[in-house]
Amino acid sequence: MKAVVTKDLGWKYSGRKRFAIEHVDLEIEENTFVSIVGPNEHGKTTLVSCIKGLIPSSFHGVWRGSVEIFGQDVRKLSAQRLAQEIGFVFADPEAQFTSMTVEEELVFGLENIGLPLGEVKERLDWVSQITMIGDLLDKSPYEISGGQKQRVAIASVLAMRPRIIILDEPTSMLDPLGKDFIFEILTNIKKETEMTVIVVEHNIEQIAPLSDVMILMYEGSIAKSGPPEVFFENSDFLIEHGIQPPQATAFIDNVRKLGDYNGPLPISLEASIPVLANILDHRLGGKG
């Protein structure tokens, strides 16, 4: 089943001359991990806001086309239904907190939707493990680091078990260690849940290996999309559009131009090692 389908989607913020996004045709399969990349101001946040239904409900402007979530028009779903189906994590998690402790923060949302105590406890344990926040539960959400806050924000969204989770630059305000934690959590979500994950991210190196599909937004439209092995073909095009392929991918791409290899591009350092070993074997074997 398709989690998200957009057809000829367009949005122009009121007061703006140009459409922020235009002619966006997109199909996202259920239980896939999708990353949206692209330079600043090219429509990434606008696109995910349309998928989340924040646009048009909370903005003024001109809408074109359609967005469907599991076959239903987002503009016809109630705010409550949308919140059940889609969880949303921002770059700045601060705005989301309302409780005195991290545990209360997580429990509050779950009690609010009327879950029995046992289920609340079960979900609390589950999200604590997946987001590695077990040692933060009795702390105030205002007195922990930015990276820890982001983990709590992700935990509170995961706890609601939405079918789709959207993260808009979840690592952009964090230091390198904080970023690594978030990528580890994303890896856990991918492995341990059937959620459809849509993440807007500038860190190509770390997001590419996790992605089933990558989408390049450029000047408000999809300039390129596909699984990473396909997406990173024709690196010149990507570089012209502000995207630097992962180092390992770029390296093997260059080796490939020497004619020693014509297989698929590896997306991570780990995946490039056997490729390189093979090429060396072949070369040395050829000479011996």
Ligand X SMILES: Nc1ncnc2c1ncn2[C@@H]1O[C@H](COP(=O)(O)OP(=O)(O)OP(=O)(O)O)[C@@H](O)[C@H]1O
**For ligand X, what does the binding mask look like between residues 131 and 170, x meaning CB under 6 A?**
----------------------------------------
Burial 36-72 (b: 16+ CB within 10 A, else e): bbbeeebbbbbbbbbbbbbbbeeeebeeebebbbeee
Other C-beta atoms closer than 10 Å to the C-beta of 135 total 10
Cα 57 from Cα 281, distance rounded (Å): 59
Q: Which window, 33-41, 105-113, 123-131, 264-272, contacts ligand X (CB under 6 A)?
A: 33-41
Q: Residue 201, CB half-sphere, CA atoms under 13 Å: how many?
A: 26
Binding mask 1-30 for ligand X (x = CB under 6 A): ------------x--x---x----------
Q: Shortest distance, CB of residue 127 to ligand X, whole angstroms?
A: 27
Q: Which of 6, 35, 45, 196 binds ligand X (CB under 6 A)?
A: 45
The piece of 38-46, 178-186, 204-212, 275-283 that touches ligand X (CB under 6 A) is 38-46
120 binds, among Mg ion, ligand X, none (CB under 5 to 8 A by kind): none
φ, ψ at 212 (rounded to 5°): -80, -35
Please confirm whether the linkage preceding 274 is cis (ω < 30° from 0). Answer: no
Nearer to Mg ion, 10 or 170 (CB): 170
The Cα–Cα gap between 2 and 4 comes to 6
Q: Which does 42 bind (CB under 5 to 8 A by kind): ligand X, Mg ion, none?
A: ligand X
Instruction: Provide the token pair at 116.
Output: 């029995």
List of residues contacting Mg ion (CB under 5 A) = 44-45
Q: Which residues here bind ligand X, judged by CB under 6 A? A: 13, 16, 20, 38, 40-46
